[in-house]
Structure formats: structure tokens, C-alpha cells
A and B are shown apart, each in its own frame.
Chain A
Amino acid sequence: DVKVTQSSRYLVKRTGEKVFLECVQDMDHENMFWYRQDPGLGLRLIYFSYDVKMKEKGDIPEGYSVSREKKERFSLILESASTNQTSMYLCASSLSHPGDYGYTFGSGTRLTVV
């Protein structure tokens, strides 16, 4: 069974901390994505990567950065966590363009910034 694995299910961090969210996929997918999911707002794309070391901003990149050093791993970095970044973060991957193939999602990391 193909998988997208997010390293933490729940995280609690303090304001101002640097936070790393890790995501690994075992499907040899080219593309990886980070979304945040908030009630009433649906899913919003933060960043995506279509190749190793390549990244593109999504719709809400402010306050975030990403790293993709290996094909299977895509990290989301909150440089200085703030309370408005409390959210559910979803990692996803796709074989090619997700418009053609759809996403495979991870189980999510619920981040609370206090």
C-alpha cells in the first residue's frame, strides 16, 4: 500500500520557535505538496515541489519555507512560529500533475502554537 508519512501526528510549539514538519513518501512520486486545513477555509496550498531542490510558492507561503533534498522527503519549516499558524498541516504527493492523477495525502500533523 502506497504511503505518505508525516512524522508527527500532534505538535505543540511555543511562539517564536523554529518548527520542522517532515513528510516522506514511498511511491517515487515526482511532486510533493504542503497544505494547511482550517475549518471553514478548506485546504490551502502553502508550497509544492516538482523535483528535488525545486520549490514553488502556493497560495499562502508567507511565514513558511520548504526543503526537498531527496525525492522522497519534503519538509515544511515555520521560521518563527506564530499563533495564527495553529492548524492541521497535510502533506501530499502525486505521480505527475495532480490535475491528472490526484493526490495521495498523509494523515496530517495538528500543530498548536502557544
Chain B
Amino acid sequence: AQSVSQHNHHVILSEAASLELGCNYSYGGTVNLFWYVQYPGQHLQLLLKYFSGDPLVKGIKGFEAEFIKSKFSFNLRKPSVQWSDTAEYFCAVTSSGTYKYIFGTGTRLKVLA
């Protein structure tokens, strides 16, 4: 069955700490991968995406993610988090030409000032 797993449901970090949020997927065929972020009281917005090419992709606000095909993973990273990174992060998988995503259950990140 198609699925996305985000194993960390809640993460608490201090400012300047490094961040890595896990995302593993089960999906047949060629995948497109996304990370979305939802800041408190705001709408979901696209953080970064991977379609093909360089497996290390960079997004907004200093975030990056690495696609590791052999591990079916697309982990999100940031070297040094800020208080303003407090948000909920969603990983999603889909493929080209499709209308449907498979979303993970989300990871709530709290950054302590």
C-alpha cells in the first residue's frame, strides 16, 4: 500500500540546534517528493520539492532535503534552527501526472528561544 511515514511526531529543539525530520515512503514507480510547512495560524505552503536530478534539494528559509532512493527516504534538514521555524511539517509523495498525494501525518517542531 502507498504510504508516507513521519516517525517524529513532536520535536523540541533549542535555537541554533540542527534539525533532521525523517520521511520514509512506500510508493510504486517514479516519485515526486514534497515538504510542506504550516506556521501557526497560517496556511500550508511549499517548502521544497524533488522531481529528478540532484538528490539534494534546497528550499526556502535554509531548508534542504535529500532523496535516498535505496532507503525510500526524503529527510528534511536545517543546520541551525530559529524560533521562527516553529511549525508543523508535512512530507508528501506523488508522481507526475497524478492528482493525488499521499501525505505523512506531520511533525510538530517547537524551537525554544
Contact A103 B46 (CB under 8 A): yes
Query: Does B53 belong to the interface (CB within 8 Å)?
Result: no
Query: Once the chains bind, are A99 and B103 in contact (CB under 8 Å)?
Result: no
The residue that B99 contacts in the complex, of A43, A99, A102, with Cβ under 8 A, is: A99
A61 at the interface (CB under 8 A from B): no
A residues contacting the other copy or chain, number (CB 8 A): 26
Q: Which of B34-49 contact A (CB under 8 A)?
A: 34, 36, 42-46, 49
Partner-contacting stretch, out of A14-22, A64-72, A76-84, A104-112 = A104-112
Name the A residues within 8 Å of B104 (CB-CB). Answer: 42
A105 touches B90 (CB 8 A): no
Q: Is the CB of A97 within 8 A of B46?
A: no
Roughly how many angstroms separate A4 CA and B44 CA in the complex, as a whole number?
A: 11
> Which residues from chain A contact B103 at a C-beta distance below 8 Å?
42-44
Interface presence of B9 (CB below 8 A) = yes
Instruction: Give the residue among B32, B51, B96 with the most A Cβ atoms within 10 A.
Output: B32
Size range of the chain B interface in the assembly: 20 to 34
In the complex, per-residue mask of B92-103: 1 if CB is within 8 Å of any chain A CB, else 0: 001111111101
Interface status of A45 (Cβ within 8 A of chain B): yes
**Interface check A25, CB cutoff 8 A:** no
Find out whether the CB atom of A31 lies under 8 angstroms from the CB atom of B99: yes
A99–B102 Cα distance when bound, in Å, is 10
Q: Which of A29-52 contact B (CB under 8 A)?
A: 31, 33, 40-45, 48, 50
Contact residue among B9, B42, B99 (Cβ-Cβ distance under 8 Å from A98): B99
A56 at the interface (CB under 8 A from B): yes
| Smallest beta-carbon distance A63→chain B, Å | 19
Chain B interface residues (CB < 8 Å from chain A): 4, 9, 32, 34, 36, 42-46, 49, 51, 90, 94-101, 103-106
